[in-house]
Amino acid sequence: MAEVNRGAVPVAELWRGGVLEGVHLGHAVICDAQGVVEAWGNPGAVIFPRSSCKMIQALPLLETGAAAARGLTDAHLALACASHQGAALHVDMAGRWIADLGLTEADLRCGAHEPMDREERDRLICSHEKPCQLHNNCSGKHSGFLTVTQHLRAGPEYVEIDHPLQKAIRAATEEVCGESIAGWGVDGCSAPNFALTLEGLARGMAKFAVAREGHGAREDAMHRLARAMGAYPELVAGEGRACTELMRAMGGRVAIKTGAEAVFVAILPEKGLGIALKVVDGATRASEAAIAHLLVRAGVLEAGHPATVKRLNPVQRNWRGIETGVLRIAPGFG
């Protein structure tokens, strides 16, 4: 496996008092249906896409017929692709989804953690309740996993690497991204995560971008998932989050998804492009700035939109509100 820092280039810089204080290194690739259009850093760097690949992990949900059999809506599909806040909106929807399957929260295999949504967190504290697996940011994905598992009449341990569902996801990953996976690891939600190159991930996003209805089960699934994400940005992440705010800023015409350790992808149907980027040190502030910059550069995001300004070259302030510095896109990136 290629070292993730090999060939990395400056993506963003932190300046304080007119002095360069820090540099975030990374890689970014833009692909169309034919291959690489532009790249910065090393397109062959092998990464774990983490949650940025949830639309790929959701392909079996549609391709097996499980979604149709259960009458799932585009809102369900958006939640299946989500890394959500654990807000009441997300928790309630995931809870209803698994209840409709005749299952319970205990059938999930994602684990429980405190919700990122402050209102729901405070509600739990005030009511002396503990968070459950529905609060997990991946509970929508796992609800989709349970739907496929039930449809296939497969075993309950759907996160095991040799489970039929994970075999289907591995095959879909290799087919959509056009390369063999370089390895796998266990993600934060306990599901396998398959390592691949930035170029492969961007190529996969380009395939989602150009997918058309009526051209087979795979293209139908990719087309519907990308558009479901754009139509329900509040389900994909949550209020205040980059994915939600930037997709809203683009009117749902572009689907974007972050992943842990500063990964970001974008699906641009109008341009027929896919974007994948990785910031080596895992800094979210840098990956959000980088994806905003590339989307502005592609002509799909307004530079002056408040959601863009919030993340692109943002001013840094201390706890008293005093301006201390600025995060800038590095010269030569994009």
Q: Please give the pLDDT value at position 1.
A: 46
The pLDDT value given to residue 2: 55
Quickly count: other Cβ atoms within 10 Å of residue 127's Cβ. Answer: 7
Q: Are 308 and 246 in contact (CB under 8 A)?
A: yes
Q: Which residue ranges form the domains of the chain, and what is each CATH number? A: 9-329 (3.40.710)
What is the helix (H) or strand (E) element at residue 278, kind and residue range? strand 273-279
Global pTM?
0.96
Is residue 18 a contact partner of residue 49, using CB atoms and an 8 Å limit? Answer: no
Which pLDDT score, from 0 to 100, does residue 139 have? Answer: 98
What is 16-61 written as a DSSP string?
ETTEEEEEEEEEEEEEETTEEEEEES-TT-EE--GGGGHHHHTHHH
Tens digit of pLDDT per residue, the chain (334 long)?
A: 457 889 999 999 999 999 999 999 999 999 999 999 999 999 999 999 999 999 999 999 999 999 999 999 999 999 999 999 999 999 999 999 999 999 999 999 999 999 999 999 999 999 999 999 999 999 999 999 999 999 999 999 999 999 999 999 999 999 999 999 999 999 999 999 999 999 999 999 999 999 999 999 999 999 999 999 999 999 999 999 999 999 999 999 999 999 999 999 999 999 999 999 999 999 999 999 999 999 999 999 999 999 999 999 899 999 999 999 999 999 999 8
